[in-house]
Amino acid sequence: MARPATTDLGEAVYARLEPVATQDEALGWPLLTYVQALAEMGREVEELVRGGEQAWDPLLDVDLSPDWNLPYRAQFVGVRVTPGATPAQARAQIKGVGGFKRGTPAAMIEAVKATLTGTKYVGLIERDGDAWHITVTTRSSETPNPSATLAAAVSQKAAGLVLNVVNTATITYAESEVRWGALPAANVEALFTTGNDAEAVV
């Protein structure tokens, strides 16, 4: 029978059991199999401590952290990693949506972007109608999971604000101002024949 695959931790423990392992190979490696099964429970910690001079550094360093550790690492800066986020998205959230930024427009935009595809367009209007309302707008075609997008926005919402999340297939008035100037009406008329033509630009 082939020798079972092992980890460094499994080998280290097995080596200490050499006096009672003399017949292990002949019996089909039952002791090594058992030791490795126990070692698997410590695999994640082993990843952190077997780094030489950098031992334990991955626990708090977002760039060195194993993927499984990212939600734990995020807690240190007040970030809740979006469920289903890829490791790259989780790292971006930890770096870009730090606890000291939580509740700010920038933090909300970064959190929402992590749930989007394509251009990741996010429009945000503070004090939308009054001081207590905030509106976040995304593209329908770039919002594969509206529930996740809403949850991401809520995770960064300051207490007391009323949040409105809109998924739209057309360009918004606020975006038209960014694209075509502070007085978009005249500019849009020069670019498009009808209002529908302008709305169709996404």
Supply 118's token pair: 């394509």
Task: Specify the 3-state DSSP secondary structure of 172.
Answer: coil
pLDDT at res. 178: 65
Domain-wise residue ranges, the chain? 52-169
In whole numbers, what is the pLDDT of the chain averaged over residues? Answer: 83
| Residues facing 124 on adjacent strands | 136
Nearest of 171, 169, 168, 166 to residue 153 by alpha carbon: 166
Q: How far is CA 137 from CA 69, 145, 153, in A?
A: 32, 14, 11
Between residues 176 and 107, which one has the greater pLDDT? 107
- pLDDT above 70 covers a percentage of the chain that reads 81
Nearest of 93, 141, 96, 86 to residue 116 by alpha carbon: 141
pLDDT at res. 70: 92
The residues, ordered by sequence, that sit 6+ positions from 190 with a Cβ below 8 Å of its Cβ are none
Between residues 75 and 199, which one has the greater pLDDT? 75
Nearest of 105, 110, 58 to residue 82 by alpha carbon: 110
pLDDT at res. 135: 92
